[in-house]
Each structure stands twice: as structure tokens, then as C-alpha cells.
A and B are shown apart, each in its own frame.
Chain A
């Protein structure tokens, strides 16, 4: 017996029991005053019986599969048992329907419990992330010592097939990935920080409402563009441009460079920085601004000496959030920054990042006992905690700052 057929039958039964409950309560309503409206009686009958019978099927399934596999009944029997459970529950609720039956309260309780269960999904997702990443990462660390991973300077995850194979020693020193990640994030922040901050200042302090209404949606477009589009832009426009201007100055720049990836990532982050700074600047109390302007300071002096110092914690928090966004970004770097690990601070060379390596290690290869694939989860673990700490610190700073002015 197919599970869909069982479900459809149960739902049909629920619909008819709704109707039965409705009819009975309406007939009571004719002579007496009901506590709850008739639709609550019908709904309770339907929902309650459905939940109990579904729970029965679920528990039976677990029981059969995990506890007593040898004690297995035919699907047909389970189907009829679940129908029986449904009918018994429905009957017992049906008999309780009378003028003082508090059906509404019971239905509302069920609704609240359902809402509560839904809101725990967020916790389940976090647990899921932690479990999957930590579990596989521990397996990785049992093969490669954690110190080699965190402090090694040589990254070459290909396990050699022959002894003398060149270029693939199976080394898992992640330092080059970290430096690559931070180099690109740094370049991105050099672009996005000043541009984002200055445009936020201009928009909130100088621009008229009309200009703001035009320009704000335009910068929001930048925020809505998928990152893979930025990646394509980096490959097709920015990288060739950097390359040819490098040639002009006599520099030999690789077609994949940290500079190209960082520049484009900076463009991507501009609206992020500007919208957070905008919020933060607007939260500075008006009387601070008025006081400064009142004693004769110019607008720029007010901004530089009053608003920015007051908003500084918030701005720093926003920049930290932007950095964490840059660290976790994948598509731009995978398309524009390169694949080979390179321990360098030179933005004109190709570097690789944590996210790129996670992708490279996992796409294609699917053997789950080689250190190569497990290394991706170890990198994921590092990435998760790196962004977690950055976000936690940043959000706390922003919140403290808000409270200061509330």
C-alpha cells in the first residue's frame, strides 16, 4: 500500500469528520448556546484525529525499522490500523462535543504548539550544520594532525598515486588559504569601505529627499545582483582590464589575480556597507547634530567631529559584518582568483581562498574516506567559526551602540 494513498485517505477522512463535527455542533447550537463556534468543533475533530493517526504511523515505522526489524507487518495492515486509530480518536472527540466543550481553546493550543515546533527548525538547522561539519572534520583530524592543518604553509591536497609524482604531496597546510582569503577581503574593504561610507554620509546628510529616492534603489540593485554575475564580470571585464593596464606599465599580471577578485568583491559589498552605515548614522540623535551646527560648525565638521565619532562603534560593527560577508563569498573568487595555493601578499598574483578550496575539493570527487574530501569539511568548520565570531562581535557592537542612544 502506497504511503500517498494512506495520506490521501486520511486527509479525506479528516475533511468528512470536519463536516460531521460541524453538523453536530450546529444542531446543538439550535437549542443551546455553544462555548465555541461550530467551525472549531469541526476543526478540532479533523486536526486532532489526523495528528494522532499520523503519529501512530510514524511511531510504528520507527518501531518496525529500528527496534524490532523482524516484527514487520504488511503495509495493508498498518493502513487499516491507522484508519482504526483515526476513527477511534474521531469518535471519542465526537462524543465530547456538547454545549460547554471548549473546542476553540484546544484548537488554539494545537496551533500554538505547531508554531513553536516550526520555530525550533532554526535550531535544528544550526545543529545540522555543526553535526555535519564537526563530524567530518574530526575524521579529517584523525588522519591529518590539527596543527599541521592550521599552521602548515603548504597546501596541495592531491594524494599522490605514485611515490615520485610531482606537484601532489598531499599536504594540508591551510595558511596559504587563510592569507589568500584575507588578502582578497582586504582589497575588497579598501574599495567598499570608503565608497560605501562616503555615499552613506552623503545620502543621509547632504542629499535631498528626491535624489535619495532615485539613488537608493539604484544602489540596492547592486545588492540584488547574484554573485555569479559579478564573477562573470570579473572574468570578462575586470581581469582583462587589469592585465592590459599592467602590461602598459610593464607588469606581468596573471589572468587570475587577487586584485581582480578583490576589486569586484568590493563592488559587491559597497551597498552592504552603505546601507549599514546609513542606518547607524541615522541613529545618531538629532540634538547632537543640532548642537554642533548651532555653535557654528560647518556640516562637514559636524560629520567628522560629532557624527562619525558618535557612530564609530556602529560603523566598525558594520565593517566587520562586511568582512565576514567577503570571507564567505564563493562565486567571485572561484571564477576570478584562481585555484592554486600561493602564500603571497602580492595582489597581482593568483591566490586561492577557503571557499574556493571547499568547492574544488568537493565538486566531482565523492569518496568519503579520503582526507581530500574531508579537508573540505575542516575548512568549512574554520569558515563557520570565523564568520560566527565576526558576526557575534559585530552584532554586539552594533547593539551596544544602539542602546547607548535609546
Chain B
């Protein structure tokens, strides 16, 4: 009976291994989410500094033309600098002044320019404007730069720190929701960079992918499952091809896109059109396989009932089998699209990886995609970009979670349909 004891101990140990491995997997998942969230959540806010701007008639419109075409050439940068000097009148010396000018983002002059453009009557008045802070200041305010470090180890020196602390004590610096992140394209300055180009690029590419792979995928699944002759060599060959394509590494589809779409058909590089086409090749088997499973799980009684009442084969399939299988097929399609949204390797190969500032207007304008933007920004060592990379990941994950929840909802509906 001693033997039994050791056998039961063994049993317990074995069970513990199972629990340990599940806990390990879940812990890793938690670490992944926590690390990304803790890096990224601050990026949804940006730091702004209040500047007392005097819209000086002498600088903006010395000839009193009130004509925007004249005014737009004015020295707005000088206006920003003057406002900063007004804020800190005690600063003197060229290098100190230059340092002072750097606490606001270089986009401040464009912001002020836009304000003047929107309302020319503002000229001559004094206004308090909240302008974007420089990324280093932003990082300091968010606590990503430690103020207690020795001066030579942080990117903000003591004098700048003094200015910022003065601004803080006067409530002239604040954190607001980061609109820039969602309304601008890439930029070399992290505080001015945004994901609009990537968002639109992903959106256009996915539209193309859906438009191509959904009809072809569903048609293929319907043919193979409902119409294809059994024991036919050609049909077998199609099936082998589909199963193989599902396992081909995604980067290979990028090679196909480069050699055939770009070089042979001379389509535009970096365009969401080609990106979408490449992704649709990859998504096609991922739509076909679950769609076939959905069709297969429709009870044969439905089909036979329709046939028995005199419906033709096509009528039985399209009017009776397909409506029941639709939620199941949509589940597969949405999961396939979610995978396409997260895919980056083939897009890198067809050149959807570039520094693109201008918002794409259509399917053939150069753009990037969300996962590619992650790759691009993850490469930059600046702390401001690390934060934004994690933020893009959060945006991407939110989209994926939404798509997958929809898929799960549809799957539940499908399961109800077939029982």
C-alpha cells in the first residue's frame, strides 16, 4: 500500500505541473498587458503651456492690409519667442534664450498661425494661448524623467527645470487629452506625431481585403462544400492548395506582392491598394476554412427538406443552407480580418513602411498601417516615441478586441441557429 501512496503523490505532482503551466501562460499574458499599458497610458495626454501672446500688429501686419496672403508670411516664430521672453523677462544671453525657446514644441508657431487665420480680428489684442510643450517637458511633467536625478543624467537641466516649476506654480502648464495623436501623421518630433496616416492606411487596406477575399472566399467554400464533385482530382488539388496557403509564412505573400503587383503590373508602392491585395491573398484561406466548417455543420435535414419539396440544388443552398451558415461564416471572416489588421511583414516588403506626414486621400496614396507604425516607432530610442508606440498598440488591441467580441457574438448566434 506504500506503493499507492507514492502513486497518488505522483498524480498530485502531475496535476500541479498542469496548473503551473497554465498559470505561467496567464502570467506571461498579464505581464505583456501590464507592461504595455503602463508604458502607454500616459500617451493619451499631452502637455500644454500657456503663453501670453501679444498679436503685435507690427510683426503680423505692419502695412495694415488685413489680407491673409500677406499675413501668412509674417514671423510667427518670432511671436512665439517674444511671448516666451515676456513670460520669463529675466532670461538673458543667447544660449539661455535658445534653451528657453525649446520648452515649447516647434509646432507652436503653426498653432498661432492657425489662430490668426481663423480670426484676423485677433491682431492687436493680447491672448493667453495654450501651446504644445516640447517632448522633453512632456516627459518630465508625466514623470518619465526623474527630477531628482543629478543634472547631467537627465535631459532637462536645472535651469529648464526651474522654468517648468515656475510654470507649474503659476498653473501655466497642464495636461490635456492628446488630440494630436489621432489627428496628425508621422513626425520626427514625438510630441507632434500621430497615427492618422496609419489608421487610414489600415482602414483602406482592410476595405480592399474585405472586398476581395470575402466574396471569393465564401464562393470557394460554397463550391467546395456544396457543388464540387466528390473524388475529383482537380477539386482535391484545390483543397491541398488552400490548406498549404493557410500555412505559408506571411512574408512570402509580401514577396509575391513585390514581384507581381509592384514589378510586373507596376502598381504604386506604399499604397493601401496593394497592401490590401496582398493581405487578401493571405486572408483568403483563413476565410475559406472556417466558412467550410460552418457550411458542414448545417444539419443535412435542412438541405434535404428543401430538395424534397422540389427546390433545385442551387435554391436549396442559397435559400436555406447559406442563411443558417451566414453567422458562422461571418465569424471566420471577422477573425481573418482581425489577423490581417495585425499583420505587418508583407506590408513592409511592399513598402508601406515610410515616413509619411500627409494624410492619404485614397487607395493609391502612400500610407502606413497600424502594426507598421508600431514597428517604425519601436525603432526610435526617444522616450516620447516609446510611450506613443505602446499607445498605438493599445489602439490596435482595442480594435482587435472589438472585432473578436463581434466574432464571438456571431458564433453564439450561429450555434443557436444549428441546434
Contacts and interface: CB of A to CB of B under 8 A. Distances in A.
A215 B375 contact: no
B59 interface: no
Contacts of A235: 378
Nearest to A108: B314
Contacts of B274: none
Interface residues of A, number: 87
A22 interface: no
A380 to B, nearest CB: 5
A215 B22 contact: yes
B249 A327 contact: yes
Interface string A194-233: 1110110111001000000001011101101111111111
A195 B249 contact: no
B223 A116 contact: yes
A298 B8 contact: yes
A203 B22 contact: yes
Contacts of A324: 247
B93 interface: no
B359 interface: no
Nearest to A36: B312
Nearest to A218: B26
B211 interface: no
A328 B222 contact: no
Contact of B344 (A195, A228, A391): A228
Contact of A232 (B19, B349, B393): B393
Given A119-B220, A359-B348, A199 B22 contact: yes
Interface in A73-109: 104-105, 108
Contacts of A219: 22, 25-26, 29
A217 B349 CA distance: 33
A57 interface: no
Contacts of B242: 122
Contacts of A392: 244
B259 A135 contact: yes
A122 B353 contact: no
A368 B263 contact: yes
Contacts of A120: 238
Given A135-B259, A199-B18, A118 B248 contact: no
Nearest to A104: B312
The CB with the most chain B CB atoms within 10 A, among A119, A125, A358, is that of: A119
Contact of A226 (B10, B254, B343): B343
B241 A123 contact: yes
B413 to A, nearest CB: 17
B277 to A, nearest CB: 11
B26 A215 contact: yes
Given A227-B344, A232-B378, 16 more contacts: A104-B312, A116-B223, A125-B241, A128-B260, A129-B253, A131-B260, A202-B18, A219-B29, A224-B404, A228-B371, A330-B250, A331-B344, A355-B249, A363-B351, A384-B252, A388-B244
Report, nearest first, the 7 A-B pairs whose CB atoms are least far apart: A328-B249, A202-B18, A226-B342, A132-B259, A118-B219, A300-B14, A115-B223
Interface of B: 7-8, 10-11, 13-15, 17-22, 24-26, 28-29, 31-32, 35-36, 39, 215-216, 219-220, 222-224, 227-228, 237-238, 241-245, 247-256, 258-260, 263, 281, 284-285, 288, 312-314, 338-339, 341-345, 348-349, 351, 353, 371-372, 374-375, 378, 386, 389-390, 393, 396-397, 400, 404, 408
